[in-house]
Amino acid sequence: MKFGPIPIDSAEGAVLAHATTVGERRFRKAHRLSADDVSLLKAAGISEVVAAVLAPDDLSEDAAAEKIAESMIHRNIEAKPAATGRVNLHAEAGGIFTVDAAKIDAINAVDPTITIATLAQ
């Protein structure tokens, strides 16, 4: 994956790192830029964007979040659809919630940009 400032002429297919507004058009974080998007940005005088360009073997931010969420699914836990690299887990039934702290710590130790947050026990 290449991440950082990308010249607008090379930005088609790149995934925006930050929300960007051009006139009435708002591009959300994690939006994949189309050729039309690039044309609009160029017309607005934008010469580069901060974005990610995925290598063929990279996972998108949402796909990675979904894989991590899958590892956390348990009876009575539902994963909501991924958005901007985040998956919210919700209880499907009332009861007492406990976590496997070692599992949470292990996933959080993989990289500082990966975080699972829960209520304290």
Rounded to an integer, what distance in angstroms lies between the CA atom of residue 103 and that of residue 46? 43
State the architecture of 2-53 in CATH terms: Alpha-Beta Complex (3.90)
121 residues of the chain, pLDDT tens digit each: 889 999 999 999 999 999 999 999 999 988 999 999 999 999 999 999 999 999 989 988 889 999 999 988 888 889 999 988 889 988 899 888 788 889 889 989 998 888 888 877 6
Rounded to an integer, what distance in angstroms lies between the CA atom of residue 10 and that of residue 49? 10
Q: Look up tokens 């994956």; give the residue.
A: 1
Residue 69 CA to chain centroid, in angstroms? 13
Cα separations (Å) of 50 from 17, 33, 75? Answer: 6, 12, 40
- For the chain, give every domain's residue range: 2-53, 61-108
Rounded to an integer, what distance in angstroms lies between the CA atom of residue 71 and that of residue 105? 13
Bridge partners of 49, per DSSP, are: 6
With residue 52 as reference, give the H or E element that holds it. Answer: strand 48-53
pTM of this prediction exceeds 0.85? no
Residue 6 has a CB neighbour count (10 Å cut-off) of 20
